[in-house]
Amino acid sequence: MRPFTFINVASSVDGKISNEKRIQLRISCEEDLKRVDELRAKSDAIMVGIGTVLSDNPKLTVKSEELRKRRLEEGRDANPIRVVVDSKCRIPLDAKVLDESAKTIVAVSRIANSEKVNTLRRMGVDVFVAGDDKVDLKALVEYLYKIGVRVLMVEGGATLNWAMLREGLVDEIYVYYGNMIIGGSKAPTVVDGMSFDPPISLDLLDVRKLGRGILTRWRVLR
């Protein structure tokens, strides 16, 4: 068993999610950031790859006080669980995702340095070990389900999106297209990695104008 899982990503019209320097680029408009916050508030956990932590240093918390309050009233934690997929356990100890504002799970593989793993555990971080060199994503989502996660939001980046799709672990995808072209053959895209052969088919669930861009919602067909 695994949680209902969706990817949310902000893309330029040419499919890039950052530029070749892999810095954090603002693609979403205010309206979209509000929508992302609402999706976070509905989720039990938010997952990102270590590449995103190293380049963006996201906090992955619910920004609206009202939405955090509503979660508390529902008997949930104010913020969803944060999950970092980090095979070699490269996460900086001062990463924002390790702060006190929410529970954090760092998923590593068996090649991770055991001293670093122990340091994280002493800091109160739940370190989940699965996979020989890369994190075993199937085992990870099964573990998340076991601890009560029913809705999982994946917030990138390009490599984690690809790996989750390849493993057949994604139910839906939201792509927000911002009003820009980023360009660059080395810039990360919505999905990197190797091409799927045949391509993964999608069903269009919704499309609408949002701010100065377009929000699309897709169901992943198996």
Ligand X SMILES: NC(=O)c1ccc[n+]([C@@H]2O[C@H](COP(=O)([O-])OP(=O)(O)OC[C@H]3O[C@@H](n4cnc5c(N)ncnc54)[C@H](O)[C@@H]3O)[C@@H](O)[C@H]2O)c1
Q: Which residues contribute to the site for ligand HJL (CB under 6 A)?
A: 10, 24-28, 36, 52, 56, 58-61, 155-156
Question: Which CB, 120 or 160, lies closer to ligand X?
Answer: 160
Ramachandran bin of 13, using left for φ above 0, alpha for ψ from -120 to 50, beta for the remaining angles: alpha
Q: How far is the CB of 1 from ligand HJL (least distance, A)?
A: 27
Rg of the Cα atoms in the chain: 17
Q: How far is the CB of 38 from ligand HJL (least distance, A)?
A: 12
Spell out the SS3 assignment of 54-106.
Answer: HHHCCCCCCCCHHHHHHHHHCCCCCCCEEEEECCCCCCCCCCHHHCCCCCEEE
Q: How far is the CB of 10 from ligand HJL (least distance, A)?
A: 3
Per partner kind, with CB cut-offs from 5 to 8 A, the member of ligand X, ligand HJL, none near residue 160 is: ligand X
Closest CA to 205 of 216, 193, 189: 216
Question: Which CB, 30 or 197, lies closer to ligand HJL?
Answer: 30
Per partner kind, with CB cut-offs from 5 to 8 A, the member of ligand HJL, ligand X, none near residue 49 is: ligand X
